[in-house]
Amino acid sequence: MLKAADALARRTFVLIPFDFNPLHTYRISKKVDIPPSILFDVVSDVASYKTFIPFVTESFVSEVDFRTKLPQKAGFNIGWDQYNERMICDVSCLKDERVFSRAISTDIFEHLQNEWKFELVKNGCNQRVSTKVSLNLQYRFKNPLFNSISSVFQSQVSQVMIDSFLKRATERQKQSNTTT
């Protein structure tokens, strides 16, 4: 009997291939009546994020492409109450088509990247300009508990972020319409 109990005590558990800290992906696309150039300008203007994105307390561009003057390295602080997180990202921009960023310095994320794409949509006989805007967001928190909790709020937080960008783009479009 002792030998059987001893064997059970030394028995290893079979590892189940289950990722307790998975990479989360959130994708959304929508058609909006805003030109790709305005959407691109809003998303690539990282230095202005502090003025229109909730909880962004500081935003900056630290490196620009000398030819295009578009950001290559940028960042922002997210804060509320006593919480404050600073993120620095590599940024890649293709004028009026795409903005890609990947976090390279963050305390809470193991992986964080997003890609915005802007595709001009032809409206047949209608002269109105529309754009298919797509966001692909991928993230993994360093803390598995944060990662599992975040999945509950993922779509709401992403929607707030998208709505902030679209509201800003709509404001810019109205400004450009009044000046032309």
111 within a domain of the structure (yes/no): yes
Q: Is the distance from CB of 112 to CB of 138 less than 8 angstroms?
A: yes
3 within a domain of the structure (yes/no): no
Domain span including residue 27: 22-179
Q: How many domains does the chain have?
A: 1
In this predicted model, what pLDDT tens digit does every residue of 65-114 receive, in sequence order?
A: 999 999 999 999 998 888 889 999 999 999 999 999 999 999 889 999 99
Instruction: Specify the pTM.
Output: 0.83
7 within a domain of the structure (yes/no): no
In this predicted model, what pLDDT tens digit does every residue of 35-60 receive, in sequence order?
A: 999 999 999 999 999 999 999 999 99
Residue 172: name the closest of 38, 74, 46, 71 by CA.
38
CB < 8 Å & 24+ apart, contacts of 144-153: 144/20, 144/21, 146/108, 147/21, 147/22, 147/24, 150/24, 151/24
